Structure 1
Amino acid sequence: MKGSPLKRFDDLSLPEELQAALSRIGFIEPTPIQQKAIPAMLEGRDLMACAATGSGKTGAYLIPMLATLLQDQKAQGLVLVPTRELAMQISDFLRTIVPNKQTFNTACLVGGQDIRRQFKQLQRKPRVIIATPGRMIDHLKRNTIQIHKVNQLVLDEGDRMIDMGFAPQLQQILKHLPPEKQASFFTATLDEKVKSLAKQYLQRPVLVFLNDSKPVAKIKQSVLSVPFFEKDDRVVDELNERQGSVIIFVKTKHRTDKLTKHLIDFGFAAGAIHGGKTQGQRNKAIDAFRTGKVRILCATDVAARGIDVPHVEHVLNFDLPMQDEDYVHRIGRTARNGAEGEALSFVMPEEYSDWNRIAKKYDIPGPAFEVQGRGGNSKFKGRGKGKPSFGRKPSFKAKFRKNSDESFEDRPRRKRFEDSDRPKRFGKKERFEDRPSRDRFGDSDRPKSFGRKDRFEDQDRPRSFKKDRFDDRPQRDRSDSSDRPKRFAKKDRFEDRPSRGGRSGDSSRSEFKPGRGGGKKASGSSGKPRRSNNDDSWGRKSERRDGAPSRKKSASGGGGKGRPLKVKSGFGKKKSFGRSRPSQ
């Protein structure tokens, strides 16, 4: 196998179940990356592969991993990816080539989904786990997953994980993995950061490089110079001229929603996907785009490495990517699996230098922009015009040095008020000397309102001071001749008040209703009165003669405000507690 390249999957010594599954989905001839990666992984060696997107990297590591797991029932595989969409895409492809879905369980652990469902997947002891670093750390902290028996490890899109800041999470996951394992590292771009991360996971790996991570040759790339305020109208013109599915990559989430609404207003079937949407909304938008319900999909870079739709014919870069490596992943959404595609990029005049750097790095054919001067005097050899330049303006310092001898010395001074009749406004000493003073009530009969002593000397208005304030006011007649009863007398408060019926012994009523505490009815018709009319126990502040408070509650449920307490004694007689009746 080392001497001759792999031409057909039948030439590999794969399990029969796996071979039948590959034939069922149409996997007959391997791609170039699969020809070099699969034999090395079947030999049990670590692998580091660099290939463009859409070259078949997913099958390059899943096929040998399944072959190993089917032969060893105790083996377990782990695949780490940067985005949710890519994890779900790998999980769907894995289910298509799994020979027996009932006995071979898999788990997909990503954020934005119900974690309880993931608990159930982990309880089934999955053979292959596909996860994002963030959700994997979450399960490790909850102690709901054990990865100390994983002997097949794959890091897909390793460069993207570094760009998204997953390096610390990967270091933490590495501590839970066993030292003896087979690891594979797949990436679309290769730089020093990616190499340093790969060295921590790989031991004497086999290096596989295809096209030096350049874009697929079957992608027709073009560029168009467009000012910012003309982008919305120009994208409508380009979509009208093209047929088939289109993915438009935008820089920000807000701009993505705004562009989607703009296209819908013009009658296009468009959808949006970005990090601000929920996982359900993102899945719904991708499914609608994959099934053809939506022709145009506006997306941020979150979709640059997770959308595998074979019928994507055009990729439009509405905004240039923030990182040069994302350009390869963006246009890699088209021309997948040997198909053809086209990519168009909108470049603003202030982005000419950025485009020249990307074109030089990835050998993009076509004319280059000419960037001149600080003001952006850029000319494009082809379509579009650059911003006009007005040349470099001399600084104030240089201009001052040139005219330093005669800048302010020979300049005539301005005569402000020498020959004018206009009064001087800025004199300090004589500012208000010649101004006539305002006569405040000098010859007027109006009384002076600011004097204190003579304020009311010449007026008949009475003085409103404390002693004489109510002297002249007629007093209220509070004599005893009034027929109105006195309200505030304490002793005679209830003297004239008629006695309450049913309280005295002369009353014909033999029973009375319970008081506030819900006491029992009095037995017999000759019951003693509870209080006399002259009893002052109704007052809130009244006290007993011995100093105890008058409010008490009876043990039998009766009593109330100022009422005596009655408790049955052991011989059936009632004893009265409380203060005694006042003597008549």
Structure 2
Amino acid sequence: MPSSSATPARRNQSGRPRRRRPQAKAQPVKRSLFDEVGVTAVDPAPFADLGLPNRLVRALHDSGMQEAFPIQAATIPDALTGRDVLGRGQTGSGKTLAFGLPLLALQTGNARPMRPRGLVLVPTRELATQVTDSLKPLAKALGLYVREVVGGTSFNRQVDTLRRGVDVLVATPGRLADHVRQGTCDLSEVERTALDEADQMADMGFLPQVRELLDMVPADGQRLLFSATLDGDVDKLVERYMTDPVVHSLAPPSASVDSMEHHQLLVSATDKQDVLARIAAREGRTIMFVRTKHHADRLAKKLRAVGVEAGALHGGKAQNARTRILDEFKSASTSTLVATNVAARGIHIDDVSLVVHVEPPADPKDYLHRAGRTARAGSSGTVVTLVTDDQKQAFRAMANQAGVKAITTEVRPQDAELARVTGAREPSGTPLAAPQRQQQTPAKSRGEHRPQRAPRGTEPSRRGGSNPNRNRRGASAARTGAPQRPRRSNSPR
């Protein structure tokens, strides 16, 4: 007799025992190429020993660069042989020159109008500008032209630039796709393509455009791809567009946390704004990360109200405003930058000594990329996260996934420990004037064809359509001196 504790077999409607479905076997986790090669151990090396042209080495020397960083020493020799290269290095490790120098060194002859020979795809306008600024003086030594095409700037000016011929084109995917569709850029003669921050392009939803662009580039061209991770779609890019790539993995994403001090500062909601104001008033460059563009604008306004030179950077600002704010931060005329994630990988500025997460980021990748704005190129830095009581558990889970061990300290605005960790001090309290907006150049002088605002009286009425006769009558009366019929007033009589 079976034990009373045995579970009876489940039966279907006919009374027969149900058949158990075979359990699917757990699929083994696919190892990425970065995991397979492990960490590449490469020491810094003189640029002169990497096989670069002498003119390029002299240009580097004139710019104060004689020794290549490890990521450059590892990847440049392989790239100069024409091999596809897949690289990973922590932020600030020198990836721009790792792909930029081979693109310049292997260029033969000048590009024809609207047909670049080298292409660099990046996720943000800021990163495009910084890549272009890094490569321009080096390209000049070789008689080559490096230019950028990004959104937020004059399309027609970019057309004029492309028509003059661009040897290495640095572009964001969306704007380059616009040029290709308009017939103002042809990718059929691109010999070498570099993708920088490929994982961020995936996170931002750019990969469909990236695939569309890579399908237009000759299949036998060289590919140089740099990414912190090979998650999902990035791995598909590697499989589809790279041929037997040489892989160099100098550091996993979590390795960058080792050169930083990480702090979890427990604050009350009522003290939080005062704590932020005191941190922002410290000496040195500080970047504060927030989640939304509205929060960035509000926080920057509050900081300026207590005497802190602060500027807000986010995707909702016009490109000329974003450029001005970054220039002010680089020149130290603005000491605190309040930014959204648009700047997490687009800002490459040395001497940022403190990064503040105003709210704990939900994604460990966001934490690492934001934190990477400090401790660049071998220097040290501090990363603090302000955590309220209801955020403790979420921060702990995120920090564990990011491989971060943060020192936890409960702080009040005037605590000595807050000053020791961040350099916080009392702000002046004298309100600062809002930054002056740069006057927009008229659309005609920029070569843009923007629709002109209709003259008063010709806008579409609520009933639909426009009424050009109203202005015509008024203009005729003005010419002849005839009295005009008074307009009907909507105000109560």
Q: TM-score, normalised by structure 1?
A: 0.60
In structure 1, the residue matched to 2:266 is 225
* 1:196 CA displacement: 2.2
| Number of the residue aligned with 1:302 | 342
1:33 to 68, 71, 76: 71
State the one-letter code of the partner of 1:185: L
Q: Following TM superposition, by how much is the alpha carbon of 1:174 offset from its aligned partner in structure 2, in angstroms?
A: 1.9
Q: Secondary structure at the match of 2:190?
A: coil
The alpha-carbon distance between structure 1 residues 35 and 384, as it changes in their structure 2 partners (threshold 3 A), is: same
Q: 1:85 aligns with which of 126, 135, 153?
A: 126
Distance 1:354 1:156 in 2: 31
Q: Contact (CA 8 Å) 1:189, 1:325: kept in 2 or not?
A: no
Return the alpha-carbon distance in structure 2 between the equivalents of residues 87 and 4 of structure 1. 28
SS at match of 2:274: helix
1:263–1:5 Cα change, 3 Å: closer
Give 2:471's aligned residue. Answer: none
Larger mean CA deviation between 345-354 and 248-257 belongs to: 345-354
Aligned to 2:410, the other structure's residue is in SS state coil
Match of 2:90 in 1: 52
Deviation of residue 200 (structure 1)? 2.0
Partner of 1:543: none
Q: Partners of 2:299 and 2:359 in 1: how far apart?
A: 12
* Aligned-pair CA distance for 1:191: 2.4
Where do residues 490-569 of structure 1 align in structure 2 (5 Å cutoff)? none
Q: Is the CA contact (8 Å cut-off) linking 1:324 and 1:358 kept in structure 2?
A: yes
Aligned residue for 2:213, secondary structure, equals helix
For residue 43 of structure 1, report the CA deviation from its aligned partner. Answer: 1.6
* Aligned counterpart for 1:62 among listed residues 100, 114, 135: 100
Instruction: Report how many residues are paired.
Output: 369
Q: Deviations over 1:354-405 (max 9, x none)?
A: 32233222321245xxxxxxxxxxxxx75379xxxxxxxxxxxxxxxxxxxx
Q: How does 1:49-198 map to 2 (within 5 A)?
A: 49-70=87-108, 76-100=117-141, 103-198=143-238
Counterparts in 2 of 1:256 and 1:50: CA distance versus 1, 3 Å: same
Q: Distance in 2 between matches of 1:170 and 1:300?
A: 23
Alignment of 1:128-527 (within 5 A): 128-214=168-254, 215-240=256-281, 242-366=282-406, 383=410
Long gaps (5+) in structure 1: 368-380, 386-584
**CA positional deviation for 1:235:** 0.9
Separation in structure 1 between the aligned mates of residue 406 and residue 286 of structure 2, nearest angstrom: 22
Residue 211 of structure 1: how far off its partner (Å): 2.3
Task: Look up the equivalent residue of 2:107 and give its one-letter code.
Answer: L
- Quick one: distance in 2 between partners of 1:284 and 1:4? 38
- Deviation by residue 1:55-84 (Cα, 9 ceiling, x = unmatched): 111011111111101589898110000000
Q: Which amino acid aligns with 2:325?
A: A
* Alignment match, 2:45: 7
Structure 1 counterpart of 2:275, one-letter code: R
* Cα distance in 2 between the residues matched to 1:138 and 1:310: 33
Residue 73 to residue 147, structure 1, CA distance change in 2 (3 Å): closer
Query: Which residue is 2:415 aligned to?
Result: none
SS in 1 for 2:215: helix
Q: 1:266 to 1:382 in 2, by over 3 A?
A: closer
Would the alpha carbon gap of residues 200 and 352 (structure 1) be closer, same or farther in structure 2, given more than 3 Å must change? Answer: farther
- Residues 64/165 of structure 1: CA separation in 2 closer, same or farther (3 Å cut): same
2:48/2:54 contact within 8 Å kept: no
- Partners of 1:119 and 1:366 in 2: CA distance: 49
Is there any run of 5+ residues in structure 2 with no aligned partner, and where? Answer: 1-39, 413-493
- Cα distance in structure 1, aligned partners of 2:320 and 2:42: 47
Q: Is the 8 A contact 1:33 1:57 kept in 2?
A: yes
Residue 202 of structure 1: how far off its partner (Å): 1.1
CA distance in 1, matches of 2:69, 2:258: 15
Structure 2 residue identity aligned to 1:47 = V
The amino acid of 2:169's aligned partner reads I
CA distance in structure 2 between the partners assigned to 1:194 and 1:322 by the alignment: 21
Quote the sequence identity (%). Answer: 38
User: Per the alignment, do residues 106 and 239 of structure 1 end up closer, same or farther by CA in structure 2, a change over 3 Å counting?
Assistant: closer
Distance 1:211 1:358, change over 3 A: farther
Q: Deviations over 1:174-216 (max 9, x none)?
A: 2211110110111123423322232222111111112212224
Instruction: Determine the C-alpha separation between the residues in 1 that align with 2:350 and 2:146.
Output: 25
Q: Which amino acid aligns with 1:141?
A: R
| Contact 1:51–1:189 under 8 Å retained in 2 | no
Give the Cα separation in 2 of the matches to 1:147 and 1:218.
41
Query: d(CA) in 1 for partners of 2:312 and 2:285?
Result: 14
Contact 1:190 1:213 in 2 (8 A): no
Other structure's SS at 1:69 match = coil
The residue identity in structure 2 corresponding to 1:383 is E
Whole-angstrom distance in 2 between the partners of 1:184 and 1:126:
19
How far is 1:100 from its partner?
3.7
Relative to 1, partners in 2 of residues 1:177 and 1:265: Cα closer, same or farther, differing over 3 Å?
same
Find the counterpart in structure 2 of residue 18 from structure 1. 56
**Aligned equivalents of 2:103, 2:269: Cα separation in 1:** 48
Structure 1's 350 and 189: CA in aligned 2 closer, same or farther, altered over 3 A?
farther
Q: CA deviation at 1:303?
A: 1.0
Kept in 1, the 8 Å contact 2:350–2:376? The answer is yes
Which residue pairs with 2:80 in the alignment?
42
Structure number with the higher helix fraction is: 2
Paired residue secondary structure (2:107): helix
Name the CA distance, whole Å, in 1 between partners of 2:106 and 2:376. Answer: 28
Amino acid aligned to 1:223: Q
For 2:265 and 2:42, the matched residues in 1 are separated by: 45
Q: Secondary structure at the residue paired with 2:185?
A: coil
- Worse overlay, 201-210 or 145-154: 201-210
CA RMSD of aligned residues (A): 2.3
Contact 1:17 1:99 in 2 (8 A): no
Q: Which amino acid aligns with 1:192?
A: G
Structure with the greater relative contact order (CA < 8 A, sep ≥ 6): 1 or 2? 2
**Distance in 1 (alpha carbons) for counterparts of 2:43 and 2:385:** 37
Q: State the secondary structure of the residue aligned to 1:271.
A: strand
Letter in 1 for 2:350: P
The answer as to whether partners of 2:56 and 2:141 remain within 8 angstroms in 1 is: no
Amino acid in the other structure paired with 1:22: L
Q: Is the 8 A contact 1:18 1:99 kept in 2?
A: no
CA contact (8 A) 1:50 1:190 kept: no
Normalised TM-score (structure 2): 0.71
What is the Cα deviation at residue 323 of structure 1?
Answer: 2.6
Three-state SS of the structure 1 residue aligned to 2:97 is helix
For the residue of structure 2 that corresponds to 1:283, the secondary structure is: helix
Secondary structure of 1:262's counterpart equals: helix
